[in-house]
Structure 1
Amino acid sequence: MNPLRVLIVDDSATMRRLIRSILDADHRLEVVAEAGTARDARDAVNTHRPDVMTLDVEMPNMSGLEFLKRLMKHRPMPVVMVSTLTQKGSDVAVEAMALGAVDCVEKPKLGGGTDNFAKLADTVALAARARVTVARPVRSSIAPQQNRRFRRICLIGGSTGAVDAIERILQSFPVDCPPTLITQHMPEPFLVSFAARLDPLVQPKVCLAQDGAVLRPGLVMIAPGGEYHLNVTGKTELRAKLYKGPLVSGHRPSVDSMFLSAVEHAPKIVAGILTGMGGDGAAGMKALRDAGAKTLGQSQQTCVVFGMPRVAAEMGGVEQWADLDKVGEELLRLCEAPVQMRVT
């Protein structure tokens, strides 16, 4: 198999050299060009036809975000954003993923080593195989129907490509939506920016989960990440629990951790699994379904990466499928279904 062709775009020559040294050491990848400006990047895309690009968030003259918008309009391709952990950098990186960037990697801190780039080659190699398209469904301006009777709690897990997917799903949720928890694989600062971005865009209240917060209608809580998983706890009144623990299924926050914590309440649960690499969430979804939860997977044809839903289906965890533009409404419909508690 021919190596995947990579274009590195960063205004720092030092950073370009560092990224090149890491990617060149991986037999799956071949760096075919570097660019320090958006103009040079445009020319390199046309000349070298790369399979995947790493793109700096903050660049002179034309920002990485503006360049990405133009790229996705005229020549869509897999892009991995490379960002600092400044608030501005995090905000722009999350917006970039909403525009179609496949993933985002943190830049190493000055003098702090290259640990942040430990999985850079894997991320770039996997991103190169992502499904990236020009056209995206038009967001509806019609307000979601309110005053529906939701009887269940909604749990959603996603990874690569799910920033855009989650935004679209929540735009179909009414202001009185079912209590909703979301675990999305991103570093902690990006999750802060993600929640802040979503809240004014959708009708329900969106925030980072706080330990002990009651799961209530109209509230969407996102796993804050960092050292914590987001779990479900409680007996009659369910609450969010921030669990400080090791990686689960290779991730923190982990979808499996969230799903498995809710198994004892499975008849009250609707679980959705979205686009993403790997298999996090598969074991938890299987356990939830076996215990009486309703489960839904994003369809292969609308996934950026059909990894997490595929593994969940192979394990028997996916009860039904929906295209992305229908996932939100299907989750709501399932949350309206009567709860039938199992007798033990």
Structure 2
Amino acid sequence: MPVISPAISFQHVGKTYIGHRGGTRGAVKALDDVSFDIEPGEFFGLLGPNGAGKTTLISILAGLARASSGSVKVLGHDVVTDYAAARRSLGIVPQELVFDPFFSVREALRIQSGYFGVRNDKRANDKWIDELLAHLGLADKADANMRQLSGGMKRRVLVAQALVHRPPVIVLDEPTAGVDVELRQTLWQFVARLNREGHTVLLTTHYLEEAEALCGRLAMLKQGRVVALDRTSALLAGTASTMLRFKMDAALPASLEAQSRVTGRIVQITAHDAHEVEQVLGVLRAAGCQPEDLEIGRADLEDVFLEIMNGPPRTTPQVKVAV
């Protein structure tokens, strides 16, 4: 029985930059022994705070940076020694809005497909381009010059460019940053469909509710190291935290600030058990605080993320995942 290669394989990947800190020249380690596999057909999330190493890892995967150590493969193709085959297997949506201002949307997609050798069947290629334009809400912009598009529309074109050569592996690097809710919903419906059809998806995002809803498995990076690697459901089940959510006009008691997040009038407080919930409510009562619309429920991925970033690593052994 043939062995199926992982869709993406990171093995002992390290990246060190030589830079200056405080006037002293030295080495800055961006990635430190990063190892995990993403299996064909997975919807996988890569999470971490700014500076954790996510962009560096994606840049190495895309061939835009060279790892200092370790290896990266796409469907068995090394991104250094077999770059062309690895790159053909990838469709990458970058964070930056990079576009050619001299072409229409349709022309840009045809040119992009040509880079990957999609020339043999022009009719089939144009049909796929029309489908991409329709699913991403770009059909009425097909003949518009790229310079005429809004930032959100340009983001949609980047997604279409990443998909135009029908890659089996799709990498979405903060694809919904700065875009409207309508595009987010349209994009995720289309990407979820591609995933159901067998495409592997690697997503980096700061919208943790998106990762919780979409990703079957997650890796979390902190200071260049993997500190969590597991199924999303297992990470959520692995926290004993309870979340109190309510609205309040008064200032929060100082003793609760460390375990709280405050956004305007909305307060979220993490408690680890029923006894701690009672303690929190007691502190609020003693301070004369009157919370409105109090809800008590399980922690979400944002709570788990913050808990992991502030605690010890929580990784599980790398195992083959049935998808």
TM-score by length of 2: 0.32
TM-score by length of 1: 0.30
Greater strand share, 1 or 2?
Answer: 2
If asked which structure has higher relative contact order (CA below 8 Å, sep 6+), I would say 2
